[in-house]
Chains A and B, each alone.
Chain A
């Protein structure tokens, strides 16, 4: 099970933007310890949340802690995990992408229609990914070229445009019975492990490297940390932002391929409201809405927390309506814990003045 891997990675990786609580120094020992404590909280908080949730659920339901169920949770979380990864990049730049659910819907329909028309499936996947990336890029260009005041605006527009187009081109009907080769990406397994799970892990690892080990990733954090300072330091802010939204759109299209494969169908309502789940996963995973802060593994844990909660509550026969209530409370609680943590570190900062 790879929460283990995630633990190790989270533990060893200093926040790419710089400081790690454990290595920073303050004049007093007590200060140093509490800073270190807050660093640990930031990095382990989401993981701790996941472990506690799992522990509680395994007491409540004998079925929860079985291999099949855990794999199932992971598979169910994979689409949200893909969308959340794109959303993470966007949120690190202090932005938001409301269009990912709709881009998923449009790509889903488009890919399904192409498959039905007899286009070979690898081409369909490539085309779907391209469409998502281009739509995301349009978001970025609208933001940076038209100087729209906030990414909320272009992505809200795209959310409606893409969803509308999904209905227009499909006529509102689902497109079912897709070819076997394509369905492998959503429903297949390799050595008992579902393909989407492998896909998510591979892409997460790739993005972890991208964000923490490359200059492009560094730029993304710098833009979110202080856009103006990034601009004055010669970072091509507009180009980086466009890239980030394009990546977000591309990952949404990848989500569409997994979803269509798993459900054996492309339908225009696919991914309805998924953007909000993605945002929730990113926030539960410890990223800051103000930008500059957030990690890939935190986001994966955020997506898993949501998946585990939904799965566990379903096992316990809690109605989907009440599940929504619980998820809502968890989102607010997770951010509230973060606020408490920040208030504590601000207080420590004032100490030094």
Chain B
């Protein structure tokens, strides 16, 4: 961590930015020391992204000053930011999957021969890419196409790309949301290697626990205002949550619940799809929340999507309310009142250009139709309004396009879609990924309310805290198999990790 007396690498003073009259940043000050990891946190819409877009030259501030190594600078284009040494690793990775690691690292500025020779020097590219990756402790073959890599490895390529630009400041936007806990630990090792070289990192995240692991200092923004900047040692999780939301949250309901005795709603026996998962058997009762833990790549998403009819079953049986059913497509699944809140809500859950009302009615057309075919907009609006109120959806009205809602708001619309379809079994795959703290606890409350109403709930999550917080019973998957089942009272972080990693405790 850099010393406080020295001039910081980056200093932003009194940054104000508004868009057509809406102030999104008001008088915000922010600085980054050399070799420091500075966490930037806040709910969605707090102004984190806008602040970082000003640093990287995508937006110009209305007023305020930016100093780089003590000198006032104007960063008007992303190119200028790159030249200074400021790079961003985006949440959605910006790599070309068909090109090799080496090509991606040097994309746009392949080293070419001197003088008039414009031939690309491949030897150079691969050699330099290799040494960059080795420097980060990950000797990947630079000739491999990026499309073959895991998300974690792709992130590494982005980081190597930033270093190839001789970056001195790397901004990471929610880097761990697609990563498993194991990969997260590896990313943190990479980050400490970066800071050891004197590179600074701005770390944007929703996960407070991680911030304590990785950051030196933390800055909290709320509604475009700077709320606090503290050394991490002086910032407790409770405090940070309070800064972010401006109110107390009761996230953890630790009271012991009596075991659930509802009838069996969903039962799976020996479900197998070769190469994805093997011999999966479990059941979920009405009113029960079953957690499905495991590392990314354990086969959980494949399992729940197959259950929902999006993939072909090789062998095994599925029972709903004691009756064996054949779910060959999501059409069958919806007919049997199954709901899947998929891991990627934008890709699989919502028609982003459609309104809240449109999306809420998506999975239950018959329910809203007159004579089975004609739309009943009034009824749709009524149901959508009711659900919006129940879920505390922040939207001016239900005709709002869902693309304009926050991540948490969008996830609530997905939930509303299944609620309006009167689903009896809810399967939720990473239900709070990339969602701000406030919406997160609201979604937890909703999941609990669902169970109280007698819905059977299966929650897939890579966040141990989420699983421990919600589930009555926990299944753990590792490499396509269920490696353990734990009652709520017996489950601990360590035990789940042990089962999820196939015995190796990390």
Taking Cβ atoms with an 8 Å cutoff, the residues of A that contact B are 14, 17-20, 23-31, 34, 212-219, 221-222, 225-226, 228-236, 292-293, 348-353
Contact = CB atoms under 8 A, between A and B. Distances in A.
Interface in B319-378: 329-331, 333-335, 340, 342, 347-358, 361-363, 365-366, 368-369, 372-375
A234 B333 contact: yes
B49 interface: yes
Given A18-B357, A234-B330, A222 B351 contact: yes
Given A31-B22, A222-B358, 10 more contacts: A18-B399, A19-B354, A215-B373, A215-B374, A222-B351, A225-B354, A231-B310, A232-B349, A235-B365, A351-B22
B365 A215 contact: yes
Contact of A226 (B347, B369, B404): B347
Contact of A29 (B21, B365, B369, B373): B21
19 contacts: A17-B351, A17-B355, A30-B20, A31-B20, A31-B22, A221-B351, A221-B354, A225-B354, A228-B348, A229-B351, A231-B310, A232-B342, A232-B349, A233-B363, A234-B333, A348-B20, A349-B403, A352-B404, A353-B50
B361 A218 contact: yes
A29 B19 CA distance: 11
A235 B354 CA distance: 15
A136 B174 CA distance: 47
B62 to A, nearest CB: 13
A232 B365 contact: no
A19 to B, nearest CB: 4
B54 to A, nearest CB: 13
Contacts of B358: 17-18, 218, 221-222
B362 A350 contact: no
Nearest to A25: B396
A351 B404 CA distance: 10
Given A232-B340, A349-B404, A350-B19, A293 B353 contact: yes
A293 B351 CA distance: 12
B483 interface: no
B400 A228 contact: no
A215 B375 contact: yes
A218 B365 contact: yes
B330 A24 contact: no
B20 A24 contact: no
Most A Cβ at <10 Å: residue of B330, B353, B421: B353
A350 B53 CA distance: 11
Given A24-B401, A215-B366, A353-B49, A232 B348 contact: yes
B397 interface: yes
Most A Cβ at <10 Å: residue of B19, B50, B373: B19
A316 B307 CA distance: 66
B24 interface: yes
- In the A-B complex, the 4 residue pairs with the smallest Cβ-Cβ separation, listed nearest first, are A18-B355, A234-B334, A25-B396, A351-B19
Interface string B1-40: 0000000000000000001111010000000000000000
A236 B352 CA distance: 19
B352 A225 contact: yes
Contacts of A348: 19-20
A213 B331 contact: no
Most A Cβ at <10 Å: residue of B362, B366, B397: B362
A215 to B, nearest CB: 4
B161 interface: no
Contact of A292 (B310, B351, B362, B400): B351
Contact of A233 (B45, B50, B330, B347): B330
A41 to B, nearest CB: 16
Nearest to A23: B399
Contacts of A353: 45, 49-50
Contacts of B366: 215
Contacts of B363: 233-234
Given A216-B373, A352-B45, A34 B399 contact: no
Given A30-B21, A235-B362, A226 B351 contact: yes
B24 A351 contact: yes
B47 to A, nearest CB: 9
Contact of A25 (B354, B372, B400): B400
Most A Cβ at <10 Å: residue of B45, B358, B400: B358
Contacts of B351: 17, 221-222, 225-226, 229-230, 292
Contacts of B348: 228-229, 232
Contact of B354 (A26, A222, A232, A351): A222
Contact of B399 (A20, A230, A231): A20
B308 interface: yes
Contacts of A26: 22, 396
B417 interface: yes
Contacts of B356: 18
B334 to A, nearest CB: 3
Contacts of B397: 23-25
B330 A232 contact: yes
B428 to A, nearest CB: 13
Given A234-B331, A351-B19, A18 B365 contact: no
B225 to A, nearest CB: 16
Nearest to A27: B22
Contacts of A221: 351, 354, 358
A235 B358 CA distance: 13
B454 to A, nearest CB: 22
A217 B373 CA distance: 9
Given A228-B347, A232-B349, A28 B330 contact: no
Most B Cβ at <10 Å: residue of A19, A25, A234: A234
A232 B308 contact: yes
Given A234-B334, A352-B45, A292 B353 contact: yes
Most A Cβ at <10 Å: residue of B310, B354, B365, B375: B354
